Structure 1
Amino acid sequence: MATVGQWISGARLRTLPMAIAPVIIGTAAAFDMGGLHWVRAILAALVALLLQVGVNYANDYSDGIRGTDEVRVGPLRLVGSGVARPHNVKMAAFAAFGLAMVAGLALVILSQAWWLLLVGAGAVLAAWGYTGGKNPYGYMGLGDVFVFVFFGPVATLGTTFTQASGVSTAAVLGSISTGLIAVALLMANNVRDIPTDTEVGKRTLAVRLGDKNARLSYVVMLALSLGLMMFLVPENPWILLVLLLVPFMLMPSWLMLKGKKRKSLIPVLQQTGLINLGFSVLFAAAMVLPALRL
């Protein structure tokens, strides 16, 4: 039986910044539009965090029963290591999804954006379908596309819309940037797993691109995430604050380009998650500071 610590490890807390970053960006954009609502922001954060925990357990379960995690390099996997029964891990995933749906329903009721029920249902299906079901899209190289869509535009613009009843250019560009960083995190994870994924027939985008190109794509995505923000400078010079992240992007980028051992890429996951969180905080500061008339 898995211990509490192992269940927490299985939830993969290092990935949670990827979930909360688009909510911070979306809320900041809503503030800039004059539509900040704290209760709705908190509900959006709960939805994002619970979906992320759910997808982590779902991936643990699905990859575990397929044997994908038997020879992987990286943190503990509950099913693959044999410390937890597959059924229990699947139930943990479903519980997280269920709680996310409850929080999402409350958010929809408060915002009266009923069409978001379809978006929420799509998010849950996408979370399960990444590695679950007969034809998981994560095994076909489409995981990066879905991560970009749901951890970028969907999460960010959904957050903004439920508070401001609309979106802005800043919200759209912010959603693309945080989506790119989320995909960069996934790419780092999949580059580390190229040898083992290839053995079990898991054709991630990293496998399809090849080791060298996949590593380079990580750096390109981080660069684009900051480059897009420059379009907002004429209207809001405070957005230049995001450039403070450049020094923090150098080490993970160097590890991705030069790290030979697969284990050397493990710290890149946490560093990229923190970069996304830092990006969201600096973006939020850029949205708030003009209102202070500094």
Structure 2
Amino acid sequence: MNKDNSRAIIRNAVEITRPTWTGFDERWDNSEKVFISRAYDQMGFDDWIFVYFLEKHNIYSIEKIGRILDNLEFERKYNRKLAGSLEAPLYEEMEKGTYGSEGKSFYKSVKEFNGRKGAAYYKLLWYMLVTCNYLKENYNASFSNYIKTQYANYKGLDYISDNKFLEISSQEWEDFKQEHKPWTELYGVGINVFDYIVGDIIELKFVTESYKLDAANERFLKITGIIPKNEMNHENVKKYLLSFDLPYTLREINKGLYTYASELGKDKYGYCRTPQKCKDCSVNDICEKNF
């Protein structure tokens, strides 16, 4: 597809969905809850809905979730027999109170959750439990402390203040990610999700170039024909989208394409989800429609 058509298709998606994606903003002082709600929002699990149940049962914090595994000797690797269902030993013991009030609350949250679970639901919950325990034990139950410590270690510093960290440039952040891979200690989190966790924290200057290549973005780019499936990887997509010199940050494009093509936005937008809905799209005459 030529660049003029690609540019027009992307601009249409970002502009139409602007009223929705501008509401995704988060604050740095809420980064602990942002981490819990986003780190495992992957593989069909609506983590962002699950946290409402954590909040209902007063366990929406890294500190509280992190306490659950305190008295369990465990391997980080997911064990389906131990934690693969509500009838598995881990959850049965939570229900009994073996893992304290936090365990009971987590069990209730899992039982009552009524969003999309996906095939990896219990595996992702295990990742959440393990990582919150790790952050509690090593970083004062603080994602912001974790990420600042990782950056300070990378720069050879003993400490970095919030103010200094918030001023990091996009290039400094990209170098840090490429050389240090700061997501490796966060069990179950890769580069895509790591970018997504911090991507909407408005005080962070460097997030303008963050990008999560999720299923909705892949769907949009494949169906429109903007990027071939065999070239669809995180770095290729970033470079290609930046080459259009559009009047948006990369993160704004990311949010716009997600909203346009995601399951979440299918009622209001969803133009790339079915051939029938595609007919209502104002740029369908220049789209390849690869359904």
Structure 1 and Structure 2 fold alike (TM over 0.5): no
TM-score (norm 1): 0.32
TM-score (norm 2): 0.32
Structure with the bigger percentage of helix: 1
**Greater Cα radius of gyration, structure 1 or 2:** 2
